[in-house]
């Protein structure tokens, strides 16, 4: 059994339903691994970095799934600062031999925020490729085969419905954790 810490914001936690609706619970059920949900509603990547030692390193996991950035863009944090936070979390985990997986942030149905968040996703993809890290494309879970956003999967333009969380789980390549 592997130990996986999932650090993030409300979309990791499972807002508004709670952890039982989160993709993290479905991942635990599907893999039998110990999944520790460290999603906190409203968290930015800066908040996640500030609690990284306590909420990730202290658990000595095999993997950490890092997903954040949506609250940052809503609060108008710079993309450079967001990516710096993500890089710092990566470095802390790598120093302890923890395998890092980036979860690409889910869509925000507001054009300006979504444009900025796409820049974060693009950085994550490029950084992961350069550092041989896995990514989970949670973003694509919300689009149909033609690339059209399925708005009915978002409660408020940002938080997933129960079906949205299920679809997030479905895009996780489980072989990452074997």
Q: Which domain holds residue 94?
A: 3-177
Read off the CATH number of the domain in which 169 is found.
Answer: 3.40.50.1110
CA dihedral 87, 12, 65, 7 (to 10 degrees): 60
Q: pLDDT, tens digit, for every residue of 95-152? A: 999 999 999 999 998 899 999 999 999 999 999 999 999 999 999 999 999 999 999 9
Q: What is the spatial order of strands in the sheet that 63-67 belongs to?
A: 34-39, 3-8, 63-67, 99-103, 134-136
Query: Which residues, listed in sequence order, are joined to residue 155 by a DSSP beta bridge?
Result: none
Q: pLDDT, tens digit, for every residue of 17-48? A: 999 999 999 999 999 999 999 999 999 999 99
Residue-level pLDDT at 126 = 98
Mean pLDDT, range 147-162, rounded to an integer: 95
Q: pLDDT, tens digit, for every residue of 163-175? A: 999 999 999 999 9
pTM, rounded to two decimals: 0.97
Tell me the C-alpha distance between 23 and 19, whole Å: 8
Q: pLDDT, tens digit, for every residue of 42-100? A: 999 999 999 999 999 999 999 999 999 999 999 999 999 999 999 999 999 999 999 99
Distance of CA 36 to the CA centre of its chain: 13
Q: How many domains is the chain partitioned into structurally?
A: 1
Q: Report residue 176 as tokens.
A: 């990452």
Read off the pLDDT band of 178 (50, 70, 90).
Answer: confident
Query: Which residues, listed in sequence order, are joined to residue 67 by a DSSP beta bridge?
Result: 8
């Amino acid at each position: 059994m592997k130990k996986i810490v999932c650090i993030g914001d409300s979309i990791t936690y499972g807002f508004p339903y709670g952890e039982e609706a989160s993709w993290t619970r479905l991942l635990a059920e599907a893999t039998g691994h110990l999944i520790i949900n460290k999603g906190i509603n409203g968290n930015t990547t800066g908040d996640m970095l500030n609690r990284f030692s306590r909420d990730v390193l202290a658990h000595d996991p095999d993997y950490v799934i890092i997903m954040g950035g949506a609250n940052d863009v809503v609060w108008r944090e710079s993309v450079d600062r967001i990516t710096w936070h993500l890089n710092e979390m990566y470095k802390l985990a790598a120093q302890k031999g923890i395998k890092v997986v980036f979860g690409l942030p889910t869509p925000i149905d507001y054009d300006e925020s979504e444009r900025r968040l796409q820049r974060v996703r693009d950085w994550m993809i490029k950084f992961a490729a350069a550092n041989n890290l896995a990514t989970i494309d949670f973003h694509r879970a919300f689009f149909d085969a033609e690339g059209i956003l399925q708005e009915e999967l978002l409660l408020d333009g940002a938080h997933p419905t129960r079906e949205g969380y299920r679809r997030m789980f479905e895009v996780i390549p489980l072989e990452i954790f074997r």
